[in-house]
Amino acid sequence: MTTEGQTPQPAGPIRPTPPGSGPTREAATEAAHPSVHVVRARKLLYGGLVGGVSAALVCLLGFGLAYGSQGVASAAFAAGLVLVFYAVGQFVMVLFADAGARTLMMVSLGSYTMRVVLLGLVLLAYNNNRADWPQFVPVAVFVTTIAVVVGWLAVEVFVFSRLRIGVYDTEYSSPSERGDAE
């Protein structure tokens, strides 16, 4: 209960806020703009998608001309499968772009291993059950899978080579200069 002219007091003890613990202008800017690591990961994702989709279009056209609608369906199935697997993997990398080096390495290796194993299992299941899917041309499925992976990776490597990543090494100082001599 307050009387006129008084401000309400919070319940419980008042704890002073340590300097620098409240929201800062830098924190607001970071929330509004992604970090340089996230931007780089997104560039790799988009570049890979461009390469993968380009390879998929070439395969769709080639197998469409060679095998008709069955070739197009086969190439579309394989291209869609690869593009989804790689896009999910790169999206995971975007999500963890700001993580520490060890965490990022574990996530990237785990994600890559899972994607390769799952893609291999799907292709193995298809290969073992080809008779159940007569609408697909096996050569179109496997060639498109390889072509889209190569297209994705080729453009991703190209984009990576164009990223501006600063390297800052500290000047060497011998142990005796640092005072670490024994």
Q: Which two tokens stand for residue 43?
A: 């560039």
Can you tell me the mean pLDDT for 137-164?
A: 91
Please check whether residue 110 lies inside any domain of the structure: yes
Overall domain count for the chain: 1
Identify whether the C-beta of residue 46 lies closer than 8 Å to the C-beta of residue 112: no
In a domain? residue 103: yes
* pLDDT value at 159 more than 80: yes
Separation in Å, CA 11 to CA 1, 3, 14, 18, 62: 12, 16, 8, 20, 73
Query: Hey, what are 34's tokens?
Result: 């992604």
Which has more pLDDT, 138 or 18?
A: 138
Residue 144, exposed/middle/buried by CB under 10 A (0-12, 13-18, 19+)?
A: buried
Residue 99 lies in a domain: yes
Q: What is the pLDDT of residue 181?
A: 52
Could you report the per-residue pLDDT of 72-131, keeping only the tens digit for each? 999 999 999 999 988 888 888 889 888 888 998 899 899 889 988 988 898 888 888 888
Please state the separation of Cα 118 from the chain's center in Å.
Answer: 17
Residue 173 Rama label (left phi>0; alpha psi -120 to 50; beta): beta
Contacts of 173 (CB under 8 A, 6+ apart): none
In a domain, 113, yes or no: yes
Reply yes or no on whether the pLDDT at 2 is more than 70.
no
Structural domain boundaries enclosing 96: 34-160
pTM, two decimals, is 0.68
- Give the span between the Cα atoms of 78 and 80, in whole angstroms: 5
> Is residue 134 in some structural domain?
yes
- Residue 155 in any domain: the answer is yes
Residue 11 lies in a domain: no
Query: Is 156 within a domain?
Result: yes
